[in-house]
Amino acid sequence: MPAPHATPRHYLRFRDFSRKEYEYLFARTRWIKDRYKRYQRYWPLEDRTLAMIFEKESTRTRLSFEAGMHQLGGAAIFLSTRDSQLGRGEPVEDAARVISRMCDIVMIRTFEQETIDRFARNSRVPVINGLTNEYHPCQILADIYTFRERRGSIAGKTVAWIGDSNNVCNTWLQAAEVFGFNMHVSTPPGYEKGLEKGAGKYRHFADPLKAARGAHLVTTDVWTSMGFEAENRRRKKAFAGWQVNAQLMRTARKDALFMHCLPAHRGEEVTAEVIDGPQSVVWDEAENRLHVQKALLEFLLLGKVKG
């Protein structure tokens, strides 16, 4: 079957797609989600296979890609560094050449962005970033879809990021460029260094309460991301004042939403009162990973379809 895109399109960074393409993806997500909720079979990817490579742990990403691929009529294969030759030093270029001759699309969760970039350069088929140290584009795809479901367009709104300048934060910064919303970022002293150089416009606040002021959405993430566990004790001290709690939520807009990509640590980056409270949309956010990624798989494999 001919490929819909002349050369494979990859999804490695949030800015890989234009705003127009995101509008298309969100419309497709709504359509795919509606059908799924009505138990209507939709199998556009029959006989297609997704390879999922995990070099770090996952619950949501594995589940949403694996279930999503099955629900679209295709198959998903799980590979980890623990049980494949990748863990024994096979060059990533060789792995890319082999895997992309046997599968139709690949999702990778790894450490350095450089690894996934090298894989993509040697792949015959589309490659999706399922999280790197630098970015987590599928997460923000789901988050913006979730915001739109609740509040409409995110353009011109204000998003407050409280905490670490990590992969999720830097993906938000790219999304702000694409969609034209304001980012308020507050990190502990020294941790602003992780903010992507050359990222679009954002305002940095030393005081997290000031960052949250007037925000339509408040969001955060763990203080210690995967791969940084050795810094855990130091980070717990440094981030103690960067908790999303009821006081911080009160400085945001009354109708502000709270998001967290999960997994969360109640009592660290967020209180139970906030994450389990009425402003939190974290369960919708997690569920929407499934729906947006099904639209993403369909787009990368079939191009634009009518439905």
Angle between helices 19-37 and 167-179 (to 10 degrees): 110
DSSP lists the bridge partners of residue 258 as 218, 280
Instruction: Select from 77, 262, 302, 305 the one that contacts ligand CP (CB under 6 A).
Output: 262
The amino acid occupying position 171 is T
Q: How far is the CB of 193 from ligand NVA (least distance, A)?
A: 16
Looking up tokens 């490929």 gives 3
The 8-class DSSP code of residue 50 comes to E
CA distances from 205 to 94, 186, 224, 244 (A): 45, 5, 20, 15
Count other Cβ atoms within 10 Å, centred on residue 240.
11
- The two structure tokens encoding residue 37: 């909720």
What does 70-97 look like in DSSP terms, one character per residue? HHTT-EEEEEETTSSGGGGT--HHHHHH
Q: How far is the CB of 48 from ligand NVA (least distance, A)?
A: 26
- Annotated catalytic residue 94: no
- Annotated catalytic residue 124: no
Dist CA 79 CA 87 (whole Å): 10
If one asks whether residue 58 binds ligand CP (CB under 6 A), the answer comes out as yes
Instruction: Select from 45, 48, 52, 61 the one that contacts ligand CP (CB under 6 A).
Output: 61
Which of 136, 184, 216, 260 does the annotation list as catalytic?
136
Burial label, 190 (beta-carbon count in 10 A; 0-12, 13-18, 19+): exposed
Interface region with ligand CP, contact rule CB under 6 A, candidates 53-61, 69-77, 78-86, 275-283: 53-61
- Annotated catalytic residue 103: no
Q: How far is the CB of 49 from ligand CP (least distance, A)?
A: 20
If one asks whether residue 166 binds ligand CP (CB under 6 A), the answer comes out as no
The 8-class DSSP code of residue 196 comes to P
Binding mask 130-169 for ligand NVA (x = CB under 6 A): -x----------------------------------xxx-
Which of 28, 71, 138, 139 does the annotation list as catalytic?
139
Q: How far is the CB of 266 from ligand CP (least distance, A)?
A: 16
- The two structure tokens encoding residue 87: 């863990």
If one asks whether residue 220 binds ligand NVA (CB under 6 A), the answer comes out as no
- Annotated catalytic residue 97: no
From ligand NVA, ligand CP, none, interface partner of 59 (C-beta below 5 to 8 A by class) = ligand CP
- Annotated catalytic residue 169: no
Positions marked catalytic: 109, 136, 139, 221, 261, 289
Which residues are at the interface with ligand CP (CB under 6 A)?
58-61, 131, 139, 261-262
Which residues are at the interface with ligand NVA (CB under 6 A)?
131, 166-168, 221-222, 225-226, 261
